[in-house]
Chain A
Amino acid sequence: MTWVNAVIQGILLGGQYALIACGLSLTFGVMRIVNLAHGDLAVCGAYLALVLSSALGAPVWATLPLLLPAAFAAGMALQVLLLGRALRHGVLAPVLVTFGLSVMIENLLQVAATSDPRGLNGGVLTLASFRIGSITVSWLFLTGFLAACAVLSGLQLALSRTSWGRQVRATADDTDTARLVGIRVRPVFATVAGIAVATAALAGVFIGTIGTFDPLTGTNTLIFAFEAVVIGGIGSLWGTLAGGVALGVTQVVVGEVNQAYAVLAVNLLFLAVLTVRPRGLFAGHQAREVQEAAG
């Protein structure tokens, strides 16, 4: 039963990784920006939730109606004021800009909030759990996993069914032609960036509720998110969920054997996937066809 338990806990943990990773995947898929500050933006979301939650004297869930729109607006502003401008100077500029942003955020947070680890008030969910046979499932972990599934399904639906989604996919395929057929690329980029930062903030809330966070948590978060995206295959949201779950299960199952090797095993899995299937396990047909069309 230990192993079944480990796999279930791993899947639930994987949902967390997928939630943080989907914004990274979207940003790369549409704008071709690898946002190195994505993890730090998630941590900013956690700190903002902490401030709001203390101010309101309520569990962190009550802050979401304020936090998520604020994060969405911040993401749009970030794209319009910074990343969009950086994009005009080639592919390397946004990487440098987001790296600088990451360093700045981490240091500003240390100044403003000290390096003390913090946790968020998850209310009654924090310690609640239920049992299936001999396996205990935390309501908080399950909520996090379901939230990730809901966000990914919602995004997938919006991308495949709405006119906004069509424009996003067309822009991701070929930005120059998208502009030529009348798509206003800047608003498309801004909304995508807004969604990416809002999902990062939501992930930050779960990170802070399930564990603790400090100003440097963002870097580790980024690495896991990045690995989930690459393992799952760039351009496929369900692949990102699968990638996150693969990371989570590996981490918990190996941790069951020896905790010291858990994170190492995750990184080895990442390297193995990169070696064997560099396009990821579930590379979107999108990515494949673009490559076929180009080659």
Chain B
Amino acid sequence: MSSADLPLLDIVGLDVFYGDFQALFGVSLSVRRGGATALVGANGAGKTTLLRTIAGAQAPASGSVRYDGADITAAPPHRRISRGIALVPEGRRLFPSLTVEENIQVGGAAAASGAWPLERIYAAFPMIARRRRQRAATLSGGEQQAVAIARALAAGPSLLLLDEISLGLAPLVVGGLYETLTGLRAAGATLLIVEQDLRRAMGACDHLVCLLEGRVALAGPVASVSRDQVVAAYFGEGRS
């Protein structure tokens, strides 16, 4: 088996707690190199927790996270970024007092590669190039989301974790963002996308994982799961 066949990201049996509250129960999942995986589930299912654990913001009580063949379960966030994992956090979380360009530059602090210099980022997101000297807080929601993605790209990632990038945005704007993601995939990036909009998620991804109350309820190629199966897994129907 060549290294290209190994999953880029391989998660086994993750248990994650917030104090006494357990958010993830033995979650396992693997992401193929160059693939796009949709992570879906109801509010509170543990999607954001899972992404934050992969990014290193949350330490699991047990289980392991392997990336590109190496165990990174205990690695701090900046090490993971240097290895090529970048997160676009839920709610964008830009630095409000920094300019657009400074936000993007900060994303390159621990860059894995120089694959995304500023010029390439501005070419991919012309709407934020015009606003580069403005404070991030003064931008519209869609522009801010584009900056958040640009900030993650500045780290030159091979695995991009995207947490609810369509939240609160107009469908047209979301469509534009997803077109950009298609472009990123074509350029060789691997994506793990948390998305509320099932149709959008199943349209953009080749793999789907559905979380229910902190457990994996359904996982498989998008082509092999029906919408009904996903809806059942999403709401936990058919369980006794």
Contact = CB atoms under 8 A, between A and B. Distances in A.
Interface string B76-101: 11100110001101000101111000
A182 B78 contact: yes
A180 B57 contact: yes
Contacts of A183: 78, 106, 109-110
B131 interface: no
Contact of B106 (A176, A181, A285): A181
Interface in B156-189: none
Interface residues of B, number: 30
A276 B107 CA distance: 39
A170 interface: yes
Nearest to B92: A177
A286 interface: yes
Contact of A170 (B86, B106, B137, B155): B106
Interface size class of chain A, counting residues whose CB lies under 8 Å from the partner chain = 20 to 34
What's the dominant secondary structure at chain A's contact region? Answer: helix
Contacts of A116: none
B28 interface: no
Contacts of A163: 105, 109
A181 B96 contact: no
Contact of B98 (A173, A179, A184, A292): A173
Given A163-B105, A166-B105, A182 B155 contact: yes
A118 interface: no
A169 B98 contact: yes
B97 A182 contact: no
A204 B98 CA distance: 33
A191 to B, nearest CB: 14
A166 B103 CA distance: 8
Contact of B57 (A179, A290, A292): A179
A132 to B, nearest CB: 40
A177 B152 CA distance: 12
B135 A182 contact: no
Contacts of A292: 96, 137
Interface string B88-132: 010001011110001101110111000000000000000000000
A285 B95 contact: no
B215 interface: no
Interface of B: 52, 55-57, 76-78, 81-82, 86-87, 89, 93, 95-98, 102-103, 105-107, 109-111, 135, 137, 151-152, 155
Interface of A: 163, 166-167, 169-170, 172-174, 176-184, 285-286, 289-290, 292-293
Given A178-B106, A182-B107, A286-B97, 6 more contacts: A170-B102, A178-B95, A180-B55, A180-B87, A182-B78, A293-B96
